[in-house]
């Protein structure tokens, strides 16, 4: 029976805290939505599970994973997960977790999700049909479910975990997500003059949205033509009304609270720009500074991107060398026996799969960076106020991504296969340099030579490394 110290509990987290703001921003990135919002958030705690997770996760890659509570399987109810964590109950032999894209159930606006931290470590690529009946190799923590037919730029990765201690539930969140509201947020306002055409600019003097035709009519005189008009997305249209005083237009941005406020807030509340109070900046000025800041190159992210791309290039070079090594071995053992050739194929397959696993992780890291920056552009295009409101959160995520300690800078796949003894392919523990040649040792009384099959038409031709095997 579990004691109180071994069972989990949940604690309601206050809204508008930095913790909630960061969670909500991560949720929006995962949904690709600037309008989704957290309704309630519970912090989950289980000392026993946390202790086990900490022991296994030491110096090991772990990733956040959103789990829609409606998709919980294997007897893992919401209450049970909170109480004792995830369990793997027969007939299940493991659990699947997605990293990246969150796809909530359709037909409803309010959803529940668990945010978990999962240990993936070095992940071994495998086809979905094989995950249950295959043991995770030594040196690996999880399976990466690899689907070469899955295409697209969406940041979405699926892992298979066989040890429930590798999953730590951290938050239970109820959130609102309405695809229709998200679509409406991207739409431009109608012209205030003709009320039919889509507005293209905002006139601050007239306090009006105008289409191209009406803008020409309204500002046709010399005096009216002096009015300053701003394209939609660059004027007051992006700011709206104050959430504390709905009848007031937003005019300032509080740099301490990271919140847009109106003139009443600046006079009547703690946002008053006096000594000891918060600093206020004109919201249009702050927006312009944010836009300028987002356009500046980020050296740390640039350096990390270059390192990842260079390592992917090195992996491809090593993979090509591995394949060439395989060709050389196969050309020699083809003259001796088909069995040795098949053994070679298995070794090459394993090496390519290991390299593929490393490449997948590096591409995931690139995708994580790209997704973050694309979401920033997405917000700027449709709802610039969200960009202003969440810029500090975006900066925080950038800092986290630029200091990533799980970057694997070495390649541990060696060109160490050789032919030895009775013509079976094995790893040469002494050989680490790709410049050494492979020797052929032919033993007497070998089987007659059979017609060789095409070594490179094997089932392990995964893209993109698989292209090397053609």
Give the CATH number, domain containing residue 260: 3.30.160.60
Higher-confidence position of 151 and 264: 264
Query: What would the two tokens of residue 143 be?
Result: 């399976």
Provide the pLDDT for residue 432.
Answer: 61
* Banded model confidence at residue 270, pLDDT cuts 50, 70, 90: low
Mean pLDDT of the 128-133 span: 91
DSSP 3-state of 13? coil
Provide the pLDDT for residue 46.
Answer: 92
Higher-confidence position of 309 and 406: 309
443 and 350 together in one domain: yes
Mean pLDDT of the 62-82 span: 93
169 and 280 together in one domain: no
Higher-confidence position of 259 and 360: 360
Which CATH number goes with the domain that contains 135?
Answer: 3.90.228.10
Provide the pLDDT for residue 399.
Answer: 87
Mean pLDDT of the 113-132 span: 94
* Res. 444: pLDDT tops 50: no
CB neighbours (10 Å) of residue 436? 13
Quick check: is 299 in a domain?
no
102 and 165 together in one domain: yes
* Banded model confidence at residue 48, pLDDT cuts 50, 70, 90: very high
Quick check: is 223 in a domain?
yes
Provide the pLDDT for residue 438.
Answer: 38
Higher-confidence position of 213 and 381: 213
* Res. 295: pLDDT tops 50: yes
Mean pLDDT of the 376-398 span: 83
411 and 349 together in one domain: yes
Mean pLDDT of the 319-330 span: 90
Query: Of 148, 182, 216, which marks where a domain is finished?
Result: 182
Provide the pLDDT for residue 351.
Answer: 92
**Of all residues in the chain, what percent carry a pLDDT higher than 90?**
39
Least confident piece of the model among 17-31, 279-293, 365-379: 279-293
Higher-confidence position of 5 and 84: 84
C-alpha 38/C-alpha 15 separation (Å) is 9
Quick check: is 380 in a domain?
yes
Provide the pLDDT for residue 470.
Answer: 47
* Res. 253: pLDDT tops 60: yes
Provide the pLDDT for residue 24.
Answer: 94
C-alpha 2/C-alpha 11 separation (Å) is 20
Higher-confidence position of 276 and 439: 276
Query: Which of 330, 407, 319 is CA-nearest to residue 368?
Result: 407
Query: Of 182, 210, 234, which marks where a domain is finished?
Result: 182
Quick check: is 3 in a domain?
no
Residue corresponding to tokens 């694997």: 408
Provide the pLDDT for residue 281.
Answer: 87
- Domain holding 119, by residue range, is 9-182
For the chain, the first-to-last Cα distance in angstroms comes to 57
- From residue 460, alpha-carbon distances to 126, 168, 221, 415 in Å are 10, 33, 72, 18
Q: What is the number of structural domains in the chain?
A: 3
* Res. 107: pLDDT tops 50: yes
15 and 118 together in one domain: yes
Q: Do the Cβ atoms of 437 and 415 come closer than 8 Å?
A: no
Provide the pLDDT for residue 69.
Answer: 94
Quick check: is 285 in a domain?
yes
**Of all residues in the chain, what percent carry a pLDDT higher than 70?**
86
267 and 317 together in one domain: no
Least confident piece of the model among 316-325, 363-372, 440-449: 440-449
C-alpha 235/C-alpha 288 separation (Å) is 10
Quick check: is 402 in a domain?
yes
Provide the pLDDT for residue 27.
Answer: 96
Peptide bond into 464 cis (omega under 30): yes
Mean pLDDT of the 129-144 span: 93
328 and 434 together in one domain: yes
CB neighbours (10 Å) of residue 128? 13
Provide the pLDDT for residue 37.
Answer: 92
**Dihedral, CA of residue 317, residue 323, residue 324 and residue 330, to nearest 10:** 170
66 and 19 together in one domain: yes
Quick check: is 304 in a domain?
no
* Banded model confidence at residue 454, pLDDT cuts 50, 70, 90: very low
* Banded model confidence at residue 274, pLDDT cuts 50, 70, 90: low
Mean pLDDT of the 209-224 span: 90
* Res. 318: pLDDT tops 60: yes
149 and 207 together in one domain: no
Strands 37-45 and 167-176 turn out to be antiparallel
The mean of the pLDDT values for the chain is 82
Mean pLDDT of the 452-465 span: 39
Higher-confidence position of 446 and 95: 95
How far, in whole angstroms, is CA 388 from its chain's centroid? 22
Signed CA dihedral, 210, 213, 217, 223: sign only = positive
Quick check: is 414 in a domain?
yes
Mean pLDDT of the 262-280 span: 73
168 and 196 together in one domain: no
* Banded model confidence at residue 435, pLDDT cuts 50, 70, 90: very low
166 and 232 together in one domain: no
Mean pLDDT of the 334-344 span: 77
| DSSP 8-class letter at 241 | B
41 and 125 together in one domain: yes
Least confident piece of the model among 13-27, 294-308, 408-422: 408-422
- From residue 462, alpha-carbon distances to 126, 148, 469 in Å are 10, 6, 9
């Amino acid at each position: 029976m579990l004691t109180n110290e071994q069972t989990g509990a949940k604690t309601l987290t206050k809204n508008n805290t930095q913790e909630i703001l960061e969670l909500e921003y991560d949720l929006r990135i995962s949904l690709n939505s600037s309008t989704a919002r957290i309704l309630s958030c519970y912090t989950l705690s289980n000392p026993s599970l946390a202790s086990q997770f900490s022991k296994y996760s030491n110096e090991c890659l772990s990733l956040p994973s959103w789990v829609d509570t409606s998709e919980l399987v294997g007897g893992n109810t919401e209450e049970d997960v909170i109480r004792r964590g995830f369990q793997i109950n027969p007939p299940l032999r493991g659990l699947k977790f997605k990293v990246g894209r969150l796809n909530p159930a359709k037909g409803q606006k309010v959803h529940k999700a668990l945010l978990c931290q999962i240990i993936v470590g070095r992940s071994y690529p495998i086809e979905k049909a094989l995950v249950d009946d295959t043991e995770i190799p030594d040196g690996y923590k999880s399976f990466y479910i690899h689907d070469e037919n899955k295409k697209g730029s969406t940041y979405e990765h699926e892992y298979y975990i066989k040890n429930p201690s590798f999953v730590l539930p951290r938050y239970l969140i109820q959130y609102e997500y309405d695809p229709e509201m998200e679509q409406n947020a991207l739409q431009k306002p109608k012209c205030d003059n003709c009320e039919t055409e889509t507005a293209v600019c905002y006139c601050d003097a007239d306090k009006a949205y105008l289409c191209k035709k009406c803008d020409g009519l309204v500002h046709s005189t010399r005096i009216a033509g002096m009015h300053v008009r701003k394209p939609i997305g660059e004027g007051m249209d992006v700011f709206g009304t104050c959430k504390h005083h709905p009848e007031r237009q937003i005019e300032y941005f509080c740099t301490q609270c990271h919140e847009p406020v109106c003139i009443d807030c600046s006079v009547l509340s703690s946002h008053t720009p006096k000594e000891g109070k918060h600093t206020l900046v004109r919201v249009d000025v702050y927006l312009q500074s944010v836009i300028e800041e987002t356009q500046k190159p980020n050296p740390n992210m640039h350096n990390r991107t270059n390192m990842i791309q260079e390592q992917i290039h090195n992996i491809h070079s090593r993979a090509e060398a591995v394949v060439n090594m395989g060709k050389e071995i196969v050309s020699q053992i083809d003259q001796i026996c088909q069995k040795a050739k098949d053994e070679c194929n298995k070794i090459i397959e394993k090496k390519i799969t290991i390299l593929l696993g490393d490449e997948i992780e590096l591409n995931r890291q690139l995708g994580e960076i790209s997704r973050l920056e694309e979401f920033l552009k997405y917000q700027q295009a449709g709802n610039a106020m969200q960009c202003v409101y969440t810029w500090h959160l975006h900066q925080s995520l950038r800092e986290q991504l630029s200091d990533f300690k799980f970057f694997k800078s070495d390649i541990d796949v060696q060109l160490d296969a050789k032919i030895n003894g009775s013509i079976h392919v094995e790893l040469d523990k002494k050989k680490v340099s790709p410049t050494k040649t492979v020797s052929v040792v032919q033993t007497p009384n070998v089987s007659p030579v059979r017609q060789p099959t095409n070594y490179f038409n094997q089932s392990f031709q995964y893209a993109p490394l698989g292209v090397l095997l053609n």
